[in-house]
């Protein structure tokens, strides 16, 4: 029997529907919303989900409990333990979706990449696309799953911290910081939604709002993604993606992966860490 292989880091509803019952496939709902949206990813998962989908809670469970920053990547042992409870093994083929179309799922995708898992993809269009096609959904409490055995191995090249960002900013020829926030927040015209976090951006960073890579909850076609990214990024540059708290930065990271960029990291602390520190340089323009 041929082992299922994910064709690309982005799959559509047709591919998922065709492989929905493959024994090696694990579907994860990673829905998360900004507090202002007043939506609960877990509650919505209970109300409506793709059959067999387990809830991947990176905001309150699969996160670094010791960090004061929101939903930071947890240590490898913790990640291993929690995703094993979701029935995930190192042999699993993982498809992740969210309730927005494309918003939070790339964050979970990046977390698995950072923990050494290669066979992971995001469902383009997410749950809205699935539902729009009249495909099956289920609701209620989670089905019982058999515990998996996942052994995470942190891939440090996928993760950037403050020191990495500072080094990258001093080496603009070899590194590039892309900020996924809106131009209003990037330029300091709009205040940061989090108290105590300064408006503006890192000196030398470029703004690529994540919404510019999307259309109606789907990624733009690959050629259009390449056009957007290559205007700001050369193939040999190391890319570090940043945003407000490390969620939409992963949309940029996934887009870069889709077009074949080789050196990609997410700044996990993102602006809540950088803008929240009085020791780090911030500019407005």
Distance between CA atoms of 41 and 31, rounded to whole angstroms? 5
pTM score over 0.95 = yes
- Residue 36's pLDDT is what? 86
Q: Is the pLDDT of residue 3 over 90?
A: no
Confidence band for 49, pLDDT divided at 50, 70 and 90: very high
What percentage of the chain carries pLDDT values higher than 90?
95
Q: Which domains does the chain have, with CATH numbers?
A: 10-154 (3.40.250.10), 157-274 (3.40.250.10)
Number of alpha carbons in the 13 Å side-chain half-sphere of residue 241: 28
Evaluate whether 270 touches 244 at the Cβ level (below 8 Å).
yes
- Token match 């515990």: residue? 147
Please compute the mean of the pLDDT values over residues 243-260 and round it to a whole number. Answer: 98
Q: Which of 11, 226, 240, 243 is catalytic?
A: 243
Dihedral (CA of 142, 143, 144, 148) sign:
negative
Dihedral (CA of 112, 114, 115, 119) sign:
positive
Q: What is the pLDDT of residues 79-134, one digit of tens each?
A: 999 999 999 999 999 999 999 999 999 999 999 999 999 999 999 999 999 999 99
- Residue 35's pLDDT is what? 85
Nearest to 98 by CA among 144, 38, 134, 45: 45
Confidence band for 1, pLDDT divided at 50, 70 and 90: low
| Strand pairing class (120-123; 10-11) | parallel
Nearest to 91 by CA among 55, 49, 129, 119: 119
- Residue 143's pLDDT is what? 87
Please compute the mean of the pLDDT values over residues 175-203 and round it to a whole number. Answer: 96
Q: Does residue 207 carry a catalytic annotation? A: no
């Amino acid at each position: 029997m041929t082992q299922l292989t994910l064709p690309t880091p982005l799959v559509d509803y047709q591919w998922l529907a065709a492989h929905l019952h493959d024994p090696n496939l694990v579907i994860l709902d990673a829905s998360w919303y900004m507090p202002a949206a007043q939506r609960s990813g877990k509650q919505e998962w209970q109300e409506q989900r793709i059959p067999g989908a387990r809830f991947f809670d990176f905001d309150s469970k699969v996160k670094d409990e010791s960090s004061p920053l929101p939903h930071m990547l947890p240590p490898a042992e913790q990640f291993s333990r929690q995703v094993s409870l979701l029935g995930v093994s190192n042999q699993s083929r993982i498809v992740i979706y969210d309730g927005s179309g494309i918003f939070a799922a790339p964050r979970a995708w990046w977390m698995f990449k950072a923990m050494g898992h290669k066979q992971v993809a995001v469902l383009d269009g997410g749950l809205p696309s699935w539902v729009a096609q009249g495909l099956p959904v289920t609701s209620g409490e989670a089905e019982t799953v058999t515990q998996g055995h996942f052994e995470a191995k942190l891939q440090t090249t996928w993760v950037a911290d403050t020191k990495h960002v500072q080094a990258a900013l001093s080496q603009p020829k070899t590194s590039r910081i892309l900020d996924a926030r809106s131009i209003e927040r990037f330029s300091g015209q709009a205040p940061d939604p989090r108290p105590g976090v300064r408006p503006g951006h890192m000196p030398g960073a470029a703004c690529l709002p994540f919404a510019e890579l999307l259309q109606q909850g789907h990624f733009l076609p690959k050629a259009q993604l390449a056009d957007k990214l290559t205007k700001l990024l050369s193939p040999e540059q190391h890319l570090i993606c940043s945003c407000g708290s490390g969620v939409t930065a992963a949309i940029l990271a996934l887009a870069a992966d889709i077009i074949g960029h080789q050196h990609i990291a997410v700044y996990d602390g993102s602006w809540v860490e950088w803008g929240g520190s009085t020791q780090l340089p911030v500019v407005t323009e």
